[in-house]
Amino acid sequence: MDFEKLNSELYTKAGHYRFAKKPTDFDKGYLKISNWVNDLCFFYIQKRNKQDKIDEVEFNKFIEAQKEKIEALKPSSYRDGLLKAVDDIN
């Protein structure tokens, strides 16, 4: 789900209710839920960003472990090709 898009759309749709000259109970109810969903979207955006960082660290650790295994091979052009490919990832 695209939480940023949802957040943006809700903010835009809520503008009519947010700037009503004489806010009704309907307006207040709409804004209450809109704000709640915006907060929920923000929470999940932050959660996804945190998970992305964790995944990146885990990925880099796996690549480094493979690089160490490759470096343990006998020197050859095949080994050099493997190392070049691994280095190109970073």
Q: Convert the pLDDT of each residue in 44-84 to its tens digit.
A: 999 999 999 999 999 999 999 999 999 999 999 999 999 99
pLDDT of residue 52: 93
CA 32 to chain centre: 26
Domain that holds residue 39: 3-89
What is the reported pTM?
0.66
Residue 87, pLDDT > 80, answer yes
Sign of CA dihedral 7, 13, 18, 19: positive
Q: Convert the pLDDT of each residue in 4-31 to its tens digit.
A: 999 899 889 999 889 988 999 999 999 9
Domains of the chain: total: 1
3-class secondary-structure state, position 65: helix
pLDDT of residue 89: 86
- Residue 87 near residue 63, CB atoms below 8 Å: no
Residues 6+ apart with CB under 8 A from 50: none
3-class secondary-structure state, position 23: coil
Residue 15 tokens read as 């503008």
